[in-house]
């Protein structure tokens, strides 16, 4: 009985890890979303362009529990002066869906 419980626990852990890994946005898909959403015009992963690099964004938001929600709101509503650069115009859902935006903001925070 104890072995069965341990085996079920291990199987559940592997299933959860597999689901989490598959849910993460890979770099190729992220780059596709950055281009189609217009983000790549002003941002890059590791160098400041017109806007901050994603590494700078991730560093600034490190440890913030609501970082994804804050970034989603800034993208949707636009922002001004957060990083000392020019204002970022709002990005409507017609450019990038809410689900894609969410996945992309999670990805940005891993940089």
Q: How far apart are CA 111 and CA 102, in angstroms?
A: 15
Residue 46: predicted pLDDT? 96
Count the domains in the chain: 1
Cβ atoms of residues 37 and 94 within 8 Å: no
pLDDT in tens, the chain (111 residues): 554 543 444 444 444 443 344 457 999 999 999 999 999 999 999 999 999 999 999 999 999 999 999 999 999 999 998 888 689 999 999 999 999 999 999 999 999
Domain enclosing residue 48, as ranges = 26-108
**Any idea what the CATH number is for the domain that residue 35 is in?**
1.10.760.10
Cβ atoms of residues 80 and 88 within 8 Å: yes
Question: For residue 17, is it within any domain?
Answer: no
Residue 18: predicted pLDDT? 36
Question: For residue 66, is it within any domain?
Answer: yes
Has this prediction a pTM greater than 0.85?
Answer: no
Residue 6: predicted pLDDT? 38
């Amino acid at each position: 009985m104890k072995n069965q419980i341990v085996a079920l626990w291990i199987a559940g852990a592997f299933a959860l890890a597999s689901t989490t890994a598959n849910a993460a946005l890979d770099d190729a898909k992220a780059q596709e979303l950055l281009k189609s959403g217009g983000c790549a015009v002003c941002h890059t992963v590791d160098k400041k362009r017109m806007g901050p690099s994603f590494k700078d964004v991730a560093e600034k938001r490190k440890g913030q529990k609501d970082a994804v929600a804050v970034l989603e709101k800034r993208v949707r509503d636009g922002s001004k002066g957060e990083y000392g650069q020019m204002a970022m115009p709002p990005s409507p859902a017609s450019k990038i869906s809410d689900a894609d935006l969410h996945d992309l903001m999670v990805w940005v925070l891993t940089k």
